[in-house]
Amino acid sequence: MTDRPEFIPSCPIPLSDYPHVLLAHGGGGKLMHQLIERMIVPAFANPALNARHDSAVLDVSGVRLAFTTDGYVVQPLFFPGGDIGTLAVNGTVNDLAMSGARPLYLSASCILEEGLPLDTFWRVLQSMRQAADAAGVAIVTGDTKVVDRGKGDGIFVTTAGVGIIEHPLTIAPGSVRAGDAVLLSGDIGRHGMAIMTVREGLAFESTIESDCAPLAGLVAALLRAGLQLHCLRDLTRGGLASALIEIAEVARLGIHLREAAIPVREDVQGACELLGFDPLYVANEGRFVCFLPAGEAERALDILHESPLAKDACLIGDVREKDAGLVTMQSRIGAGRIVDMLSGEQLPRIC
C-alpha cells in the first residue's frame, strides 16, 4: 500500500459505522443504497449516472445508445431454470430493455478460480451462447482472468451491453407521472426461491424454477404498439419492493400498491414462509414493472398476455402526488402500510 496522496477526499461513509464491506452492501437493501448514493455516484458524478437507471442513455453522433453492466456471482452456479451464464446474458439484455433499447451487443468478462473444471466453464459458455441467441444479441468481445484457488469462487461473469434506442421516449424513473398505472409482468419471487431452496436443500412437490428470461421482446411489442411508456424496471436484487422504492424516490411521487393484485405462486409463498422471506423483496430475473398512463394500461396488458413470458401480467397499483417518495400498500385485509427498504441482506449472492 502506498501512502494516500493528499488530494483524495476522505471516504464519505462514516467509517465508524461500518468500516468494512459487509455482504449486505451487495444485497439490494439500505446498505447497498447507501454505498451507491454516498460513494459510487459522488465518485463518478455525471449526468448519465445521475439518472439512476438500469442503463446509461448516451448520444453518440446522433445515435441514442443504451450502455449497461452487471457482475454475476451467483451460488450455486447451476440452479433450476438457469445458470450463471443465462443470468449474465439475460440480466444485461434486460437492463438494456428497461431503457427501451433494442439490445445489440454484449461483452463477457470471466474471472475463473484456479481448479475450476474446464468442463464447467464450457457449460457456462454454452449457456451464454444459447441465451444470447435466444435474445437476439451477439457476444462480441471478452476477457478471461484466473485467480488463485481460494481467491475466487468457481466463476464470476461480468457482462456489459450496448443497445440502440429507436423511439423518442425517455423511459426512466424521472418520466413517471401522477396518474400512471403500475403493471407487473407476472408472478414474483421465483428466481430467489429457486436459488434458496437449492442452497437449503429443501424439496417441494415440484421444483421451483428461476423465471430467468429475456424481456426485450416484450418491451419491443409494447413500443411497437405506440404506448407511452414512462418507466420500466426489472425486479432483480431487492425484488419488487426495492425497485419501486427507488423509482418513487427519484420521481418524487407516491406509488400505491394493492397486495391482493400481486401474484405469488403457492409454492413460492410456501418456501418464503418456511425460510422467513417476504416475496416482495425476493429477486426475479424475468419480471418487470411498467409505468404508463392509466388509459393505456388495458392495451398494454393485452399485448403482454400474448407472450408466455407475461401471460399473468396485471395491474398492481397506481402513482399519486400523495406520499411523495414512498411506496404504500393496501394489504389483503384492507390495512395500509409503508413498504420500506430492507436494511440487511436478504439473499446473498442471488445473481
Please report whether residue 335 would count as binding its own copies according to CB under 8 A: no
Please report whether residue 200 would count as binding its own copies according to CB under 8 A: no
Segment interacting with its own copies (CB under 8 A) among 23-31, 181-189, 255-263, 289-297: 23-31
Q: Which of residues 84-113 bind its own copies (CB under 8 A)?
A: 104-105, 107-113
Q: What stretch of H or E contains 119?
A: helix 118-135
Please report whether residue 203 would count as binding its own copies according to CB under 8 A: no
User: All 3 cell numbers of residue 316?
Assistant: 398492481
The answer to whether the beta carbons of residues 36 and 135 sit under 8 Å apart is no
Q: What stretch of H or E contains 187?
A: none
Residue 121 backbone dihedrals phi, psi, to 5 degrees? -60, -40
Segment interacting with its own copies (CB under 8 A) among 153-161, 173-181, 274-282, 317-325: 153-161
| Residues in CB range of 44: below 8 A, 6 or more apart | none
If you count them, how many residues does the chain have? Answer: 351
Please report whether residue 73 would count as binding its own copies according to CB under 8 A: yes
b/e for 24-48, b at 16 or more Cβ within 10 A?
bbbbbbbbbbbbeeeeeeeeeeeee
What is the CB-side half-sphere exposure of residue 333 using CA atoms within 13 A? Answer: 1
- When binding is defined by CB under 8 A, the residue of 37, 39, 175, 328 that contacts its own copies is 39
Least Å distance, CB 28 to its own copies, is 11
β pairing state of 327-330 and 314-320: unpaired
Least Å distance, CB 74 to its own copies, is 9
The answer to whether the beta carbons of residues 74 and 87 sit under 8 Å apart is yes
State the number of binding residues for its own copies (CB under 8 A).
Answer: 96
- When binding is defined by CB under 8 A, the residue of 29, 100, 152, 254 that contacts its own copies is 152
Please report whether residue 260 would count as binding its own copies according to CB under 8 A: no
Least Å distance, CB 126 to its own copies, is 5
Please report whether residue 338 would count as binding its own copies according to CB under 8 A: no
Please report whether residue 275 would count as binding its own copies according to CB under 8 A: no
Segment interacting with its own copies (CB under 8 A) among 10-18, 221-229, 240-248, 256-264: 10-18
Please report whether residue 43 would count as binding its own copies according to CB under 8 A: yes
Residue 8 or 335: the one with the smaller Cβ distance to its own copies is 8
The answer to whether the beta carbons of residues 183 and 290 sit under 8 Å apart is yes
HEC profile for 221-289?
A: HHHHCCCCCCEEEECCCCHHHHHHHHHHHHHCCEEEEEHHHCCCCHHHHHHHHHHCCCHHHCCCCCCEE
Residue 2 or 205: the one with the smaller Cβ distance to its own copies is 2
How far apart are the C-alpha atoms of 95 and 133, rounded to whole Å?
17
Please report whether residue 27 would count as binding its own copies according to CB under 8 A: yes
Please report whether residue 26 would count as binding its own copies according to CB under 8 A: yes
Amino acid identity, position 310? A
Residue 23 or 178: the one with the smaller Cβ distance to its own copies is 23
Least Å distance, CB 261 to its own copies, is 31
